[in-house]
C-alpha cells in the first residue's frame, strides 16, 4: 500500500495591492464582507481597496464612509486608497497617513476622479508625500507620461495592471535609468488573450496562455467583448509573451478584482472587470507546476515587494497552507465573491489553499471562512 504524505506548503499571507470591493455604492456586486471573504479563500490576508466607488473616495468625509464600512465588515486586513480629482490636490496629502496611497486615473474615467489634462496631474505629483505611493491607471502613452512625471518630480510612481509589450519594455528602460517606477501585472493579462472565448489552461506542457485570434485594436471602438470586457483590455499573444519574458521587471502580482454581476456582464453594455481574488494563487501555483514561475517569485511579488512599495506593516503570526498536489476545476459556484462568475470557469488548476492563519487566528480552513466580520484591521 502506498502512503500519501500530504505535506502542506506554507507561505506568508499574500498582499493584493489592487481590489475593488464596491462598497459604498454597489453592494449587489460585492462588499467589504464578501470581498474580504474571497480574499481569505484565495490566501490573501491584506487588500488595498480602490477609490472609484459610489461616492468615490476623494476627501475626509468619503474616506470615513469606506473606512467605517470596512471596520465593521472586513475579515482580512486592509487599507483604502484615496482618489485624485481636479480639485483635491490640497487636501489628499493630509489624508496620506490614513490611506493605502493616491490613485490617479489618467485615462478616461468619470465624475469626481476625472483628470482631463496634465495640468491637473501636476499638483498631485508635486504635493503628495513621497513616502506614500501614487498608483496610476495609465495605459500605453499615458503610462509614458506618468513615468516622465515620476522623473520630473523625482518621486515613486506605481503603474497598475500593465498588459502590453511596449509598457513592460518602457518600464524596464526607465528602471535602468534610475527612475522610481514600479509596476504590477494581473493574472488575466498573463493567462488570457484577446480573441475568442478563452480555453482552459493546460496543466502540463506548452504555453499556459490561450491562442490569440484577434488582437487589441482589431475590435472596433465601442464593440463589446461580452464577459471578456476589462480595462486594460486583454492583449495579444505577443504582449502576453513579453510579460512572461520580463517577469523580473514586474514588481507585483495584483488581481484588479473588479466584480460585476453576471446579469451586467451578459447585458448589451457589459461593464469592464473580472473577479480575481480566489483564482490568483491557484493560477500562479499552476504556473509554478508548469515551470513558468517559482514559489520565490510568488513570495517576492505578492508579499515582499508590495510590502516595500506600499510601506505596509508585517502581519505577525500570519501564514497560509497550500496543498500543491490538489488538482481541481475552478468553479464560480464555490467562490465567496458575490458576482457569481469567473473568466476562469472550468480551468483545471493544481494547488489549493487549505488554511489561512491571520494574526494567530484560523481565518479560513477547508473551504470555510472562519474570521468574523470586523476581524480585519486597517493597516494604516
Ligand atoms: Zn482597478
Instruction: Tell how far the Cα of 360 is from the centroid of ligand 1, in angstroms.
Output: 31
Distance between CA 366 and CA 364 in Å, rounded?
7
Residue among 192, 135, 189 at smallest CA distance from 163: 189
Model pTM?
0.93
pLDDT at residue number 274: 97
Instruction: Tell how far the Cα of 9 is from the centroid of ligand 1, in angstroms.
Output: 30
CB 246 within 8 A of CB 230: no
pLDDT at residue number 184: 98
pLDDT in tens, 9-31: 999 999 999 999 999 999 999 99
Residue spans of the chain under pLDDT 50? 197, 199-219
- Bond from prior residue into 232 cis (ω within 30 degrees of 0): yes
Instruction: Tell how far the Cα of 144 is from the centroid of ligand 1, in angstroms.
Output: 19
pLDDT at residue number 200: 46
Instruction: Tell how far the Cα of 274 is from the centroid of ligand 1, in angstroms.
Output: 10
Place of cell 513615468: 147
Q: What's the length of the chain?
A: 380
pLDDT at residue number 207: 39
Distance between CA 257 and CA 38 in Å, rounded?
10
pLDDT at residue number 220: 52
pLDDT at residue number 111: 74
Question: What SS3 class is residue 78?
Answer: strand
**How buried is residue 177: exposed, middle or buried, by Cβ count under 10 Å (0-12/13-18/19+)?**
exposed
pLDDT in tens, 86-115: 999 999 999 999 999 999 999 877 678 889
Distance between CA 167 and CA 58 in Å, rounded?
28
pLDDT at residue number 309: 97
Chain CA centroid to CA 258, Å: 9
Instruction: Tell how far the Cα of 20 is from the centroid of ligand 1, in angstroms.
Output: 6
Q: What is the dihedral of CA 370, 373, 377, 380, to 10 degrees?
A: 140
CA angle at 18 for the pair 106 and 254, rounded to the nearest 5°:
110
Query: Hey, which residues does 12 pair with through a beta bridge?
Result: 319
Amino acid at each position: 500500500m502506498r502512503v500519501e504524505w500530504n505535506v502542506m506548503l506554507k507561505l506568508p499571507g499574500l498582499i493584493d495591492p489592487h481590489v475593488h470591493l464596491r462598497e459604498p455604492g454597489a453592494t449587489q456586486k460585492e462588499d467589504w464582507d464578501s470581498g474580504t471573504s474571497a480574499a481569505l479563500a484565495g490566501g490573501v490576508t491584506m487588500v488595498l481597496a480602490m477609490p472609484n466607488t459610489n461616492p468615490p473616495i476623494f476627501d475626509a468625509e468619503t474616506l470615513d464612509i469606506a473606512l467605517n464600512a470596512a471596520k465593521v465588515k472586513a475579515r482580512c486586513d486592509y487599507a483604502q486608497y484615496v482618489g485624485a480629482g481636479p480639485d483635491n490636490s490640497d487636501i489628499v496629502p493630509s489624508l496620506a497617513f490614513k490611506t493605502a496611497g493616491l490613485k490617479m486615473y489618467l485615462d478616461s474615467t468619470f465624475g469626481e476622479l476625472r483628470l482631463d489634462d496634465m495640468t491637473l496631474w501636476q499638483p498631485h505629483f508635486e504635493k503628495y508625500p513621497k513616502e506614500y505611493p501614487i498608483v496610476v491607471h495609465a495605459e500605453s502613452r499615458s503610462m509614458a507620461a506618468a513615468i516622465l512625471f515620476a522623473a520630473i518630480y523625482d518621486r515613486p510612481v506605481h503603474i497598475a495592471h500593465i498588459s502590453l509589450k511596449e509598457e513592460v519594455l518602457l518600464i524596464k528602460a526607465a528602471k535602468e535609468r534610475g527612475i522610481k517606477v514600479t509596476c504590477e501585472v494581473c493574472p488575466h493579462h498573463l493567462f488570457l488573450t484577446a480573441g475568442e472565448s478563452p480555453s482552459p489552461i493546460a496543466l502540463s506542457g506548452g504555453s499556459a496562455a490561450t491562442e490569440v485570434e484577434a488582437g487589441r485594436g482589431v475590435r472596433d471602438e465601442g464593440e463589446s467583448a461580452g464577459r471578456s470586457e476589462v480595462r486594460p483590455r486583454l492583449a495579444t499573444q505577443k504582449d502576453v509573451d513579453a510579460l512572461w519574458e520580463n517577469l523580473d521587471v514586474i514588481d507585483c502580482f495584483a488581481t484588479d478584482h473588479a466584480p460585476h454581476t453576471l446579469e451586467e456582464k451578459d447585458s448589451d453594455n457589459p461593464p469592464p472587470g473580472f473577479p480575481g481574488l480566489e483564482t490568483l494563487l491557484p493560477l500562479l501555483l499552476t504556473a509554478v507546476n508548469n515551470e513558468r514561475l517559482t514559489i520565490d517569485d510568488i513570495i517576492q511579488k505578492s508579499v515582499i515587494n508590495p510590502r516595500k512599495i506600499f510601506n505596509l506593516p508585517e502581519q505577525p503570526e500570519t501564514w497560509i497552507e497550500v496543498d500543491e498536489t490538489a488538482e481541481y476545476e475552478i468553479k464560480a459556484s464555490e467562490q465567496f465573491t458575490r458576482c457569481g462568475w469567473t473568466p476562469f470557469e472550468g480551468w483545471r488548476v493544481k494547488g489549493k489553499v487549505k488554511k489561512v492563519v491571520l494574526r494567530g487566528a484560523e481565518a479560513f480552513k477547508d473551504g470555510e471562512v472562519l474570521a468574523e466580520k470586523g476581524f480585519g484591521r486597517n493597516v494604516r
